[in-house]
Homo-oligomer: A and B are copies of this chain.
């Protein structure tokens, strides 16, 4: 545990597009309040404007060397990217996907819970909402997002055009994410890990994934319970038996799909956080709500900032493990640097108190706007 002079962390914000801007503002306000309240750590914010608007004007999102430049920060706070006038595959491959891979952020962690005062669409069936409590560990560096493949001849108009998408799975990539997931499960109350693949239909990479999973699993025998699901059947289990799941590990694409489903089942995609982690801590990790830029409600001041706050809490929790205060897989035991584990807990509690009081945006059935929710969370923190 650190004592003495508060440690300063340098955060770079990439608000990006649409509601990404609103919720990044809200998150920095809440984070600043949190740091001031604690006084045991400082957060300094820089902002870069890597937006679709700038792309249209200049022809790029991040300037030459921009992604490399992120390495000097302690963490990255990301709003959202994507705008109707730029094809999504361009905005993503110029921005978010290169950041994830360049900075070795191979673990994407997505917790799901039903917040107090909010209602799950499954409420007719899920007796006790606290039983829906999941962490999805998403492989974030390879697989279906490798980007390999092509189109020949490269026009949709040729009668014989063929395109491929090549998913690449490496032993290194599978093993490290599986081990990370077991470590995560080990530190959760229920200590249960469910592995998801589609190894019945996809007989190469998915079969390798299964084999490596069971190999790593042996190291955790007796300490973590584990089981295996096919991705299609997994959606059924999430709907029908949410209480049977705890920690989940899956490929880049499968976990992308399952984490959106998880968010929807927990009440709103507007509350869902995500952490893009480099568990080795060689490079900064990145924290982002999963909702996206939401062009339909952008600029109206009504975006739900809860996913942004929850992501901010995850960032604080991660930074608590700086300077060797965490194990190899990034797990922090104890209070961490500058009491920041406690700070993250307080922020989560503040969010829960606010939703419980009914200060909620429309997607959660409330009437409040972004500013009202933000102010309420800040008040709870300073109380």
Interface residues of A (CB under 8 A from B): 82, 87-89, 91-93, 97, 119, 121-125, 144-145, 147, 149-151, 156-172, 198-208, 211-212, 215, 230-233, 235-236, 239-240, 252-253, 256-257, 259-261, 263-265, 269, 292
Contact = CB atoms under 8 A, between A and B. Distances in A.
Contacts of A239: 121, 261, 264-265
A195 to B, nearest CB: 14
A201 B150 contact: no
18 contacts: A89-B202, A89-B206, A121-B122, A122-B124, A145-B201, A150-B204, A159-B171, A160-B171, A160-B172, A161-B170, A162-B170, A163-B168, A165-B167, A166-B166, A231-B256, A232-B259, A235-B257, A236-B264
Contacts of A202: 89, 144-145, 149, 165, 253
A333 B74 CA distance: 65
Nearest to A240: B264
Nearest to A155: B211
Q: Which of A93, A204, A239, A260 has the most C-beta atoms of chain B within 10 angstroms of its own C-beta?
A: A204
Contacts of A260: 232-233, 235-236
Nearest to A125: B121
A230 B216 CA distance: 33
Given A82-B200, A123-B125, A232-B259, 14 more contacts: A89-B202, A119-B124, A122-B122, A151-B205, A156-B208, A160-B171, A163-B208, A164-B166, A164-B204, A165-B205, A232-B257, A233-B292, A236-B260, A236-B261
A144 B215 CA distance: 26
A124 B92 CA distance: 36
Contact of A167 (B164, B172, B232): B164
A132 B182 CA distance: 38
B232 A165 contact: no
Contacts of A235: 235, 257, 260-261, 264
A203 B147 contact: yes
B158 A162 contact: no
A203 B150 CA distance: 8
Nearest to A145: B201
A199 B260 CA distance: 16
A168 B164 contact: yes
A158 B144 contact: no
Contacts of A150: 204
Contacts of A233: 260, 292
Contact of A97 (B144, B169, B201, B292): B201
Contacts of A200: 82, 88-89, 91-92
A201 B251 CA distance: 14
Contact of A205 (B149, B168, B261): B149
A35 B105 CA distance: 61
A293 to B, nearest CB: 12
Contacts of A252: 201
A229 to B, nearest CB: 11
A156 B263 CA distance: 34
A162 B156 contact: no
Nearest to A236: B264
